[in-house]
Amino acid sequence: MLKRLFGTREDPTPRAANGERIYAVGDIHGRLDLLRELYGQVASDAAGASTPCTLVFLGDYADRGPDTAGVVDFLLDGDDRFRHVYLKGNHEALWQQFLTEPEVGPAWFNTGGVETVMSYGLREEIAGRSPDFARIAMRLADAMPDSHHEFLENLDLSYRSGDYVFAHAGIRPRVPMERQDPEDLIWIRKEFLGADDFDGLCVVHGHSQVADAVDLPHRIAVDTGAYHSGRLTCVVIEGEERRFLSTG
């Protein structure tokens, strides 16, 4: 404690698990065009890797952008050159909730859900000034392929590699990973962003938009507002090294 108070302790540099290169992609929000572009960069970069590569998608595949359905299709196609990890974002949580609780429709539509519904070909249903959310939820559930339902159901909440933790929104400070509330992992903001120590862990996250990727000893933020900025960002982590790839 005294060392920390007087600034004489140097925090060790976080390390990913030995023998793993990780590509962690920020919030996509229906921008299939940017996902394709960034994926091309990742594939070219990984071609020279001598270690196994893991693609971690940090959540928020849906809403706001024009092609959520296309994004999910693209992700489901996969690529056997990579191990894939798909994390759950708050927008996927709202999407799932809407399918069984249509009363959240106004909140979901106000945060971009209307674009997701339209990406599945449902346009007439939302043309009126007072949408029938129960009907839209039923029609959306029918329009979604089984594989898309399974995709939503099987999303992970976090991923760990060495000293790095990956979660959509972040983690609650001073709470061990095994006791983290799932709601925090996909929704937390103020308490997480205001902290500067996570017991030696470095948290890689999206959720909170930044103009440029934030690279700090204790956290890395890669949600660069792709749906409106045209910049989809990925951090590349290998051992103690980290660097960034981005569209735009």
The number of residues making up the chain comes to: 248
Strand-pair partners of 221: 205, 214
Going by C-alpha positions, the residue among 218, 184, 219 that lies closest to residue 205 is: 219
Q: Which residue has the tokens 């929104």?
A: 169
Architecture of domain 2-246: 4-Layer Sandwich (3.60)
pLDDT tens profile 193-212: 999 999 999 999 999 999 99
Tokens of 43: 């594939």
Residue 28 near residue 35, CB atoms below 8 Å: yes
Going by C-alpha positions, the residue among 52, 51, 57 that lies closest to residue 39 is: 57
Each domain of the chain, given as residue ranges in start order, spans 2-246
Q: What is the pLDDT of residue 11?
A: 59
pLDDT tens profile 17-44: 988 999 999 999 999 999 999 999 999 9
pLDDT tens profile 158-205: 999 999 999 999 999 999 999 999 999 999 999 999 999 999 999 999
Alpha carbons 140 and 157: distance in angstroms, whole number: 24
- H/E stretch holding 238 reads strand 233-238
DSSP E strand boundaries for 58-175: 83-86, 158-161, 164-167
